[in-house]
A and B are shown apart, each in its own frame.
Chain A
Amino acid sequence: MELLPEGASFEACLTCGLCSSGCPAAGIENMDPRKFIRMAMLGMDAELSTTPWVWCCTQCRRCQHVCPMNIDISQLVFLARGNWPQDQKPSGIVRSCQMIRSTDSTSAMGLPPSDFVFVVEDVLQEVRENQPAFAHLQAPMDKKGAHFFVNQNSREPMSEPDEMVPLWKILDLVGADWTYSSKGWAAENFCMFAGDEAAWYEVVKKRVDAVSDLGCQVWLNTECGHSYYTMWHGINRFGLSADFTLESLITWYARWIREGKLPVNSKWNTKNIKFTVQDPCMIVRKAFGEAIAEDMRFVVKTLVGEDNFIDMQPNRSANYCCGGGGGFLQAGMTDHRRTYGKRKFDQIMATGAAYVLTPCHNCHSQMEDIGHFYGGSYGVVHFWTLICLSLGILGENERTYLGPDLLALID
């Protein structure tokens, strides 16, 4: 069984170690990217297909970013994951993939379409009733011909449905023509993390079909990292034809702000609370690159005030993976995941910021967890939360992730 893909440039490796030096997984299970590639070259496929390290590498591609020869070691890791016997893969990831395939929702929590529709309706009703300013709020479902097909992480409808609302308010405010879909609505995609190409393809296909069925022009990716990457990379990899563009909410936040449709400003930040921002690997380094990192910073600075934004170091495409991706949160390898996350923790602490903004669910969960574990006191918030906060439209049930300092600013 050959682990090395044909045509890969692994023979260009100088064994200089820049990859290992810049990898947060280096040292876990006594492995690192340089060792991994050498073991592949030395024919140790059996060991590589059984080292737990392949579940600790999140495939963030930072190794490739710092490599002077541009070698992509994460490719090898993906292949190694695929070589694991199904019954030995981390069960959390496998189960999530199974759940995704179990209904037309493609939800990793197995929330079927009808339940999703119900939750949305239910929460919408509540908002209309309890928040007079939003008595007319919409959350369209299966609206044919809508411009934006908006996806949704399963976490919100399953466990914190009120967290869906800030985005609805934003879309309403900017007059976006959008819709949810009862089919293929979910964002997450653990099948790629399971190293299961066939399943990955199946999920992507279902989602592509769902967008096509509704005839939307733009698939608008919610604040989730890997959902963008698995969709975009999957469409290219599997040669699927998509009659729509794939775009990120971040790009549109920036655009709406520039167009004046989203009148955010930083006047609310009277206490000059400091913020930093996390660059999700799946959106920045692995996908849009510096352009979206710039858009994100434009949004943050507009939201909190330029002087109240402290960039992490390193940042943008050179930023570190936090360790929330690649299925790490579901793999049940908590100690390793936290060891991995130490670098991110140090980055955040070095900024001195009170909050980390991130447009990614996995980053959100991981940064919260390592914050608690290593004794940091920072909070982690999504963009939609802060946007609504700055506009003074954040409902009472939408403030879960705000610390007392931010809460104090709300009248």
Chain B
Amino acid sequence: MTTSAATKNIRDGNARHLAVDLAVIGSGLAGFAASIFAVGRRIVTAQVGNTGAVAYTTGYLDLLGREDGSRTDVTDPWQALEKLAADQPDHPLANVPREDIREAFTQFTAFLGEGGLAYSRPGERNLTALTPAGTVKQTLCVPATMAAGCHAYAEKSPCVIVDFKGLKGFSGRQVAANLQARWPGLATARIDFPDIMTGEIYPEVMARALEVPATREKLAVRLKAAAGEAKIIGLPAVLGMHRPDLVKAELERLTGLVIFEIPTMPPSVPGIRLREMFEQVLPQKGVTLIPQQKITRLNFDADGATLSLADSFGPIELRARAVILATGRFLSGGLEAERTGIRETLLNLPVVQPDNRNHWYRDRYTDPRGHAIHRAGLAVDRAFRPLGSDGQPYDERLFAAGVILAHQDWIRGRSGAGIAIASAYKAVAEAEKFLSSRS
């Protein structure tokens, strides 16, 4: 637990006490986005949650990549949002004004950039980005280390996809074989990673090794040889962990090539970059971060909310005047799928869901219409307050954000980051309104 000067931290026998204005529960993109926006508005904030799952992020920030039920790509997300608002008024993205979504993405990517991970700013259209399977997808913002890949694809520039001996699940041949129809100038080459001759190798290991200048020099020699006549090369995402922009720039300097990276399957580097950066930078910005613990109980009383948790030293009681619930879905434990139904795990809030589990999944996995289980979640009012069983907000101090919200399918819609960032922005704005109305 990192302490910040702004929080009051009192030792009381066994339990440690903290008091903040805003408590964010959840350590996914929505939780971190909420903290970022809260910091921007100078709200005294604590964030709690088990961090692990943010490491699965690919690095791409999808606002809206596909229209529901269709197999066609969304190239203009802003326009698609208009249609979405008309067709699906309960969708979380329908309830955040477009200017706010744009502002949210701008602030979020600016924060990432200040934290050492440069990102492209949200544009007017989606970017077509590469995947490790040799398919492409629509996304709004990409890490600067990946941007040249989008550009090379758009231009169909001659390019060599370089992969590494020992790296499983990433095959340059596969990428080239599947893109060759659209991108004939694509070739592939395999190289060794410096100092690792046998056995398997993880992207994380390569990325960290490239933080050391000597490793970069050795790799540059191999990259130049692999590039041949091409001026642009694509790699799996291994361009450093802490300072990817520096690593990329240095390799480009050493090789004279333009270099971009492509996300890999888990365990992948871009997600780890985000996790490590958030965990270091947010405390520096004044957020009290307790990143490895889950809340065991959340109570509301006349004066505020109490969040109970514990670390290896014993109990911690966190008092907050407002709470944002951004605990995610099944993977992160915000929702639990039981045989009898889907349950929200912290407060047992009512979950909008199919009437029984027969209807959770369609028969065909890749059905473009997606599966109803993913649309289950928390219903919220216009202020992003989750509803209780009477259809009214559960508590005026409780807000919800992220993919725990109902009426969206972030997987099929390619809208995970969009929902997380936009709803977090709105939830924080509403929480701020509430807090100032009570101060």
Point out residues on A near B: beta carbons under 8 Å: 16-18, 20-22, 26-27, 30, 65-70, 287-291, 294, 313-318, 342-343, 346-347, 349-350
Contact = CB atoms under 8 A, between A and B. Distances in A.
For chain B, give the interface size range: 35 or more
Given A21-B203, A21-B267, A288-B313, A16 B50 contact: no
B184 to A, nearest CB: 34
A318 B291 CA distance: 11
A252 to B, nearest CB: 16
Interface in B171-216: 195, 199-205, 208-209, 211-212, 214-215
Contacts of A66: 52, 55, 272
A248 to B, nearest CB: 12
Contacts of B331: 68
B200 to A, nearest CB: 7
B358 interface: no
B276 A68 contact: no
Contact of B56 (A16, A65, A291, A350): A16
Nearest to A28: B199
Nearest to A318: B276
A343 B1 contact: no
A343 B208 contact: yes
18 contacts: A17-B266, A17-B267, A18-B55, A20-B202, A20-B267, A21-B203, A27-B200, A27-B201, A68-B55, A68-B332, A69-B52, A70-B50, A70-B52, A290-B2, A291-B2, A313-B276, A318-B279, A346-B209
Given A21-B205, A314-B276, A287 B332 contact: no
A350 B212 CA distance: 5
A347 B55 contact: no
Nearest to A345: B212
Contacts of A17: 202, 266-267
Contacts of A313: 208, 211, 241-242, 276
List the 4 shortest-distance A-B pairs measured between CB atoms, nearest first. Answer: A68-B52, A21-B267, A313-B242, A21-B202
Contact of A346 (B211, B292, B332): B211
A318 B289 CA distance: 14
Contacts of A30: 199
A342 B1 CA distance: 29
A338 to B, nearest CB: 13
Interface in B262-292: 266-267, 272, 276, 279-280, 283, 292
Contacts of A287: 312
A16 B266 contact: yes
Contacts of B311: 289
A346 B331 CA distance: 33
